[in-house]
Amino acid sequence: MNKKKLILIAGAIALCVTTSFVTVMIYKITDKDKFNSETVANPPAKFASMTGTEIGQTDFTTAAERTVHSVVHVKTMYKIRNQYQGFSDPFFEHFFGVPRRQQREMPEQESSAAGSGVIISADGYIVTNNHVVENAFEIEVTLNDKRTFTAKVIGTDPSTDIALLKIDADGLAPITFGNSDNLKVGQWVLAVGNPFNLTSTVTAGIVSAKARSINILSVDMKIESFIQTDAAINPGNSGGALVNTAGELVGINTAIASQTGSYAGYAFAVPTTIVSKVVTDLKEYGVVQRAVLGSQITDIDDKLAKEKDLKTLNGAYVAGFTQNSAAKDAGLKEGDVITAIDEVAVKSVAELQEQISRYRPGDNIKLTVLRKDKEQIFTIKLKNMSGNTGIVKNADLSVLGAEFQQVTPQLKRRFNLEDGMLTSKVTRNGAFAKAGIEAGFIVLKINRQTIRSQEDIANIYNSAINSSEEDDKVLLVSGIYQNGKVMHYIVNLK
């Protein structure tokens, strides 16, 4: 019998009591600001480019020598809770004829995991995957020369699975950024990382596909436009470098497709066109300035084309709009098909998302649209997720006085939950404590919006504190305690 295919995050290879890698089943669950490998604050006008000779080059020694000193080993420490230990209830079994499992909470334990990272500036900025460092209370970075540093998280972006770290070091060897737009299917690439804690490992393969969406990210506003390669990647490679034969960074290795948990022929990387914008924003603002069209879009298949009488299978079909939609304000209508952004063709939702992710709220773009088989061009001023063009501030969740972590599979099964975030810690003088919320509370909704990640909490919090109306500076928090008690709280942010 064929095992069900899994998409596996290739990052966290556990060193203690955790499992050897993180697995995620396929289920529902970013060229305006270019990046400078020397300093994030002053992005250059252009990416480095490859010559035709370099594209066809099959001697990988130069690329390996240029990149191994720029890739680091990232070790993380976590606190995990063995959520429950079951024991039988003889009285329940006696009266009902079936055993009942009672549960009790076990104390927290420390565990470690590891991944990779890429040095992007001489003064210690490092890019890695969000899932490599998510929920870690300690992050240790080991350079290729064996020096070890404690890293600080500058910012994370679950929507692209990218995180920016900083170590207190100078004179490092930053990698050179290449332009992932120049990659061609069939072109040689190298993966550089630390699989299974084997440091400075280099593997080679070709680009198998581009703009691949694999539905692995479990957050709202996710952006999946991965480079697919057959370069061998295994647990521990996450956050490492995907480079071209000139030794230029073209992607951050993120995931593998496998039935076993180890490399089985397919690997996926976030392209530098997305990475450069994300890390520049994280460096400057602490949070990504994400521009949105404000439209509900879907890929076009043969069924949809016949149903809607469309003459093309390329592009993104506009199925609806959100509140304060930039696209709707510009004149787009349901049934339109977006085929290009600033004259760059987009054949799928993934390609459209990748193009939009390069811009900030307030930027103007030109959309090429097919409406009843006639091509029209619209100029759109992009907005942020709050429906305006202002700069989004970094959510200082310390005001809430709470720490959050993902709800465990056990708790999800116990309460039949699909979403939510567990409040793992509540400090005495924080807004959560003042509202009466205690540790262990599972946050399901805030201001009637479903909570699936800490980013969701941050976005709602940002909208509230950035509102010009004093009455909006409150959070209506709904959820459930682990004893089954459902509660609603009003958290005052004034």
Query: What is the per-residue pLDDT across 306-316, written as a single tens digit (0 to 9) for each?
Result: 999 999 999 99
As a whole-number percent, the residues of the chain with pLDDT over 70 amount to: 81
264 or 133: whose pLDDT is higher?
133
- 277 and 344 part of one domain: no
> Is 69 an active-site residue?
no
Give the active site residue among 73, 112, 116, 131: 131
- 264 and 319 part of one domain: no
Give the active site residue among 238, 348, 386, 453: 238
- Residue 80 is predicted with a pLDDT of 67
Distance CA 156, CA 353 (A): 19
- 142 and 232 part of one domain: yes
Question: Which of 398, 449, 387, 453 has its CA nearest to residue 420?
Answer: 453
Q: pLDDT-derived band of residue 463, with 50, 70 and 90 as boundaries?
A: confident
Residue 82 inside a domain? The answer is: no
Neighbouring residues of 261: CB distance < 8 A, sequence distance ≥ 6 = 6, 8, 20, 21, 23, 235
- 44 and 158 part of one domain: yes
Of 232, 262, 285, the position where a domain reaches its end is 285
Q: Could you tell me the CATH number of the domain that includes residue 116?
A: 2.40.10.120
Residue 91 inside a domain? The answer is: no
- 184 and 241 part of one domain: yes
Task: Name the least confident of 92-106, 239-253, 371-385.
Answer: 92-106
Q: What does the pLDDT average to over 134-157?
A: 92
Distance CA 305, CA 303 (A): 5
- Residue 326 is predicted with a pLDDT of 94
> Is 31 an active-site residue?
no
- Residue 193 is predicted with a pLDDT of 94
- Residue 87 is predicted with a pLDDT of 45
282 pLDDT more than 90:
yes
52-96: pLDDT as tens digits: 444 445 789 999 999 999 999 999 998 765 544 444 444 444 444
- 273 and 302 part of one domain: no
Q: pLDDT-derived band of residue 220, with 50, 70 and 90 as boundaries?
A: low
> How many other CB atoms are there within 10 angstroms of residue 56's CB atom?
11
Q: pLDDT-derived band of residue 472, with 50, 70 and 90 as boundaries?
A: confident
- Domain with 430 in it: 397-492
- 23 and 136 part of one domain: yes
Residue 368 inside a domain? The answer is: yes
Q: pLDDT-derived band of residue 194, with 50, 70 and 90 as boundaries?
A: very high
Residue 388 inside a domain? The answer is: no
> Is 33 an active-site residue?
no
276 pLDDT more than 90:
yes
- 198 and 274 part of one domain: yes
- 455 and 431 part of one domain: yes
Give the active site residue among 161, 281, 336, 456: 161
Task: Name the least confident of 32-46, 172-186, 236-250, 368-382.
Answer: 32-46
272 or 24: whose pLDDT is higher?
272
Of 217, 251, 285, the position where a domain reaches its end is 285
236 pLDDT more than 80:
yes
Domains contained in the chain, number: 3
CA angle 280, 250, 177 (to 5 degrees): 50
Q: What does the pLDDT average to over 413-426?
A: 87
90-127: pLDDT as tens digits: 444 444 444 444 445 456 678 889 999 999 999 999 99
Q: Could you tell me the CATH number of the domain that includes residue 448?
A: 2.30.42.10
Distance CA 255, CA 5 (A): 13
- 358 and 256 part of one domain: no
Average predicted confidence (pLDDT) for the chain: 82
- Residue 196 is predicted with a pLDDT of 86
Residue 98 inside a domain? The answer is: no
- 150 and 236 part of one domain: yes
Q: What does the pLDDT average to over 129-155?
A: 92
Q: pLDDT-derived band of residue 47, with 50, 70 and 90 as boundaries?
A: very low
- 264 and 346 part of one domain: no
Neighbouring residues of 380: CB distance < 8 A, sequence distance ≥ 6 = 293, 326, 327, 329, 330, 332, 364, 365, 366, 367
Residue 40 inside a domain? The answer is: yes
279 or 34: whose pLDDT is higher?
279
Of 285, 312, 335, the position where a domain reaches its end is 285
**Beta carbons of 442 and 481 less than 8 angstroms apart:** yes
Q: pLDDT-derived band of residue 40, with 50, 70 and 90 as boundaries?
A: very low
Residue 88 inside a domain? The answer is: no
Distance CA 312, CA 405 (A): 44
- Residue 283 is predicted with a pLDDT of 93
Residue 238 inside a domain? The answer is: yes
Q: For the stretch 419-440, what's the b/e string if a residue is b when 16 or more beta carbons lie within 10 angstroms of its beta carbon?
A: bbbbbbebeeebbbbebebeee
Decide the pairing of beta strands 316-321 and 226-229. Answer: unpaired
